[in-house]
A and B are shown apart, each in its own frame.
Chain A
Amino acid sequence: MNRATTADLALLVPELILVGMALALILAARRIQRTPLALIGTILAALAAALASTCVVPSDDATGFGGMITVDHYSRFFKVLIAAALALAALLSVRSLDEEWAPRAEYHALLLLASTGMMLAVSSLDLLTLYLGVELMTLCSIVLVGIRVDRPASNEAAIKYFLIASFASALLLFGISLTYGVTGTTNFAAIATSLRDLGSNPLLLVAMGLVAAGLAFKIAAVPFHAWAPDAYQGATAPVAAFLAAGSKAAGLAALGRVCLVAFGSEARTLTWILTGLAALSIIVGSIIALAQTDMKRLLAYSSITHAGYALLGLIAGTSEGASATMTYACFYVFMTLGAFGVVIALGERGEKLDGFQGLAAQRPGTAALMLLFLLSLTGVPPTAGFVAKFGVILNAVRADQVPLAVLAVICSVVSAFVYLRIAVLMYMKEPQEPAPSRFPVTVTAALAVTALVTLVGGISPNSLTPWAVPP
């Protein structure tokens, strides 16, 4: 029998830090009503977790808990990314928590617990721990979406998200049970060994399809995307930003590990599934985004498109491709948090597309930042978005998927229209509304960090390469 030892627990130090802070916040919930204590605690926990995942835990790759949890370069990369998304989302939340009624301590505790789930999902080596992590992330996200109990739109979004997420969980579990039926194990490495011996099995195709579908819900890839626009629109903007950044990164990481490690020998079947998901997401996301007038919905469709682009790295099942997807996930997290950050900074006005009219005349700095994030989301050099997009499209070409690469480039042009429409509104229209009030210093700090990463990532494209080590 395997028993958890201190060596095992050492692998989970980042998660334990986050859980500890979340429990402390829950215990002190009644006493934390107005102070920024919850924010400071959350950011300290995120920093400590990021530090712990790079320094404290064993420097070599290690597994624990009977081969269910690992600490390797892949999980470290994503843990730091998730911690960054958590800290930035907490910084961005300050304004909406000040203006609207929301339980402060609970809000931050849920952010922390959702991040714990994400970290668990990216470091799991077993389908069941993966499910556990993904589920913890989803349950906390559902409550976060519905945290404005006094607003019907928020409740509706939470219920829709809940129903679709439970459906997705059922698919994922069904896929896991079929995988167990075929291979007799849920451990990634053991599944891979068993598949090499077994050869092809029709049941396995169903199993892989269901697991991929369950995880595609989490990253909101078409045709499993329907929840995202409604959930993002109903949620407060910081929660939508956290969902778009964190849960997408964690879902991609989980999908990447499952595809590369567990189902690595079935690369040809996986290529079919992932190519379909990627192509549909890119086409549908970029075309439907054209018709949006609500900024949160627009960014939701943008996140769907980006899920498709990120999947381009995984289609070949190669480690170079997975590395490209890791780079994509990292840069996407920062540029989408930046774009959401500007929306949050503008308050009510930023939620509508028309609110951006004439922003450059009133707040040239903010308009320039938004332009930077929009260019990055489009994929224009010298921003991080270009580096990311270049990497995954190059991988599609290397995988002999030239039509898919051409499609990706064409849809980039379509989404350029979506993003640059906002730029046109900012720079070429007259202001319709009074200039926005001063932003809280926390929002400015978050915008500065995201802008820095977006710029540095674009100027020195190889800055991430040493860390983006696939599993």
Chain B
Amino acid sequence: MTEYIGIAVTFVLAGGIAAAMVILSSMLGKKNPTAIKLAPFECGKDPFSLPMGRLAVKFYMSAILFILFDVELVFLYPWAVEFRDLGLLGLAEMGVFLAIVLVGFVYAWDNGALEWK
């Protein structure tokens, strides 16, 4: 079981640091509560609302397209690091990969996902 000690230490350290931050800031920090400060953090949205509201789906469309390029980049980075060793075959493989990813993008473009209606 010795190989698991490292994991246990990580857990303890992570929990300790998080707890220390919360405790220290509540002990040392100034307290000047206002209604806005006490509200749960949410990026520019009302934190509590009934689920009947309508949301513009175009934001999600852009987010999904972003993931497409995000994934592409995740694979491009290690490939760029090993570019010299992988050689011509690596370049060809990356070309195929990029082409397949681009098919998805072309499909989205073709079907109007980029039009901000």
Contact = CB atoms under 8 A, between A and B. Distances in A.
Given A29-B110, A29-B111, A30-B111, A3 B104 contact: no
Interface in A1-34: 3-4, 23, 26-27, 29-30
Nearest to A103: B111
B107 A26 contact: yes
Interface in B77-105: 89, 93, 100, 103-104
Contacts of B111: 29-30
B53 to A, nearest CB: 19
B110 A23 contact: no
Contact of A23 (B89, B93, B100): B100
B104 A26 contact: yes
Contacts of A23: 100, 103
Interface string A91-131: 00000000000000000000000000000000000000000
A3 B103 CA distance: 25
B100 A30 contact: no
B93 A4 contact: yes
Nearest to B106: A27
Contact of B107 (A3, A4, A29): A29
A27 B100 CA distance: 10
Contacts of B104: 26
A23 B106 CA distance: 11
Contacts of B103: 23, 26-27
B94 to A, nearest CB: 12
Nearest to B82: A1
A3 B89 contact: yes
A27 B93 contact: no
A3 B110 CA distance: 35
A26 B93 CA distance: 21
Nearest to B100: A23
A23 B105 CA distance: 12
A29 B106 CA distance: 10
Contacts of A3: 89
B20 to A, nearest CB: 31
Contacts of B100: 23
B6 to A, nearest CB: 15
Nearest to A105: B107
Contacts of A29: 107, 110-111
A30 B93 contact: no
Nearest to A19: B100
Interface string A239-271: 000000000000000000000000000000000
A116 to B, nearest CB: 12
Contacts of A26: 103-104, 107
B40 to A, nearest CB: 26
Contacts of B107: 26-27, 29
A26 B102 CA distance: 11
Contacts of A4: 89, 93
Interface in A59-75: none
A362 B107 CA distance: 46
A113 to B, nearest CB: 11
A30 B89 contact: no
B71 to A, nearest CB: 14
A45 to B, nearest CB: 16
Contacts of A27: 103, 106-107
A30 B106 CA distance: 11
Among B89, B107, B110, B111, max chain A CB count under 10 A is at B107
Interface of B: 89, 93, 100, 103-104, 106-107, 110-111
Interface of A: 3-4, 23, 26-27, 29-30
6 contacts: A4-B93, A23-B100, A26-B107, A27-B106, A27-B107, A29-B111
Given A4-B89, A29-B111, 14 more contacts: A3-B89, A4-B93, A23-B100, A23-B103, A26-B103, A26-B104, A26-B107, A27-B103, A27-B106, A27-B107, A29-B107, A29-B110, A30-B110, A30-B111
A-B residue pairs, 7 tightest by C-beta: A26-B107, A23-B103, A30-B110, A26-B103, A27-B103, A29-B107, A27-B106
